[in-house]
């Protein structure tokens, strides 16, 4: 008998932590995971937005925890992971979504800005992935970590150098952590989105005008167009997929 297709998006009983959930892609990621039954911890700096999102998800029947968090505060990262585990259970799904853009030439960046970019776009992802995995090893549970990079990791223009560099590092970090964590049944993968609707994109459009003129299909993506990619990577049935980066860019900057 031929085996039936095997793919489930049922995340009931699993706990997910999503960073950068106060707007854009992170907000949508939290909504999707909650809709699939996960207990969701929503993390970000703007507490009012976290509470608004949490209230809406709770009204839809989800179990949600708000986690005020500045990812550049290393101690707060570890404290937040402990809090989520204490209140919702071990984190089996981590979506490392928090990120910071740049719009400066390299020669005009001050050291503080450079360090903040690294802490936000790279170091925080490493700390969270490592701490979540340590706790999963202790609990003897499998896990799924999804890092959010960017199409800028592969193709970027002048004025986005440090952002592109940090996002390229996220891709490489994903590969190396996947190699190290595989023995513990923790998969580490990455999504590299192109231009999608978000507050970050709104700021870019204000500075640069209509960038879609250069795109093959003259459009910007909607966050919901990443749903299937996210669910593929966090599904219990994608256990053979680790160390991968999926580029979702509609042909923007493809080469």
Give, as one character, the DSSP assignment of residue 158.
T
Question: Residue 6 CB: number of other CB atoms within 10 A?
Answer: 8
Alpha-carbon distance of 240 to 229, in angstroms, equals: 15
Query: 138 lies in a domain?
Result: yes
Query: 8 lies in a domain?
Result: no
CB 234 within 8 A of CB 146: yes
Query: 3 lies in a domain?
Result: no
Alpha-carbon distance of 123 to 126, in angstroms, equals: 5
196 by DSSP, 3-state: which? Answer: strand
Query: 135 lies in a domain?
Result: yes
Burial class (CB in 10 A: 0-12, 13-18, 19+), 239: exposed
Number of domains in the chain: 1
What confidence tens digit (pLDDT) does each residue in 99-142 have? 988 778 888 989 999 999 999 999 999 999 999 999 999 999 99
| pTM (two decimals) | 0.93
Query: 5 lies in a domain?
Result: no
Alpha-carbon distance of 204 to 102, in angstroms, equals: 10
Query: 68 lies in a domain?
Result: yes
Mean pLDDT of 4-13: 92
Query: 33 lies in a domain?
Result: yes
pLDDT value, residue 255? 44
Q: Which structural domain range is residue 118 located in?
A: 15-248
Catalytic machinery residues: 163
What confidence tens digit (pLDDT) does each residue in 223-237 have? 999 999 999 999 999
CATH of residue 243's domain is 3.40.50.720
């Amino acid at each position: 008998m031929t085996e039936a297709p095997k793919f489930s998006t049922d995340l009931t009983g699993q706990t997910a932590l999503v960073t950068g959930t106060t707007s854009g892609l992170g907000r949508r990621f939290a909504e999707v995971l909650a809709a699939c039954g996960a207990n969701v911890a929503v993390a970000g700096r703007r507490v009012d937005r976290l509470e608004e999102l949490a209230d809406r998800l709770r009204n839809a029947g989800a179990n949600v925890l708000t986690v005020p968090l500045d990812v550049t505060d290393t101690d707060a990262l570890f404290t937040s992971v402990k809090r989520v585990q204490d209140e919702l259970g071990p984190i089996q799904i981590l979506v490392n979504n928090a990120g910071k853009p740049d719009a400066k030439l390299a020669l005009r960046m001050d050291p503080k800005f450079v360090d903040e970019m690294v802490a936000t776009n790279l170091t925080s992802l490493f700390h969270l992935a490592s701490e979540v995995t340590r706790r999963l090893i202790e609990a003897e549970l499998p896990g799924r970590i999804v890092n959010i990079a960017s199409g800028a990791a592969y193709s970027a223009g002048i004025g986005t150098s440090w952002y592109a560099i940090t996002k390229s590092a996220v891709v490489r970090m994903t590969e190396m952590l996947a190699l190290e964590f595989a023995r513990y049944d923790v998969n580490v993968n990455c999504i590299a989105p192109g231009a999608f609707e978000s507050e970050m994109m709104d700021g870019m459009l204000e500075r640069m005008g209509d960038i879609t003129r250069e795109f093959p299909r003259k459009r910007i993506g909607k966050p919901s167009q990443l749903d299937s990619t996210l669910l593929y990577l966090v599904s219990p049935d994608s256990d053979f997929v680790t160390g991968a980066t999926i580029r979702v860019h509609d042909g923007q900057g493809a080469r």
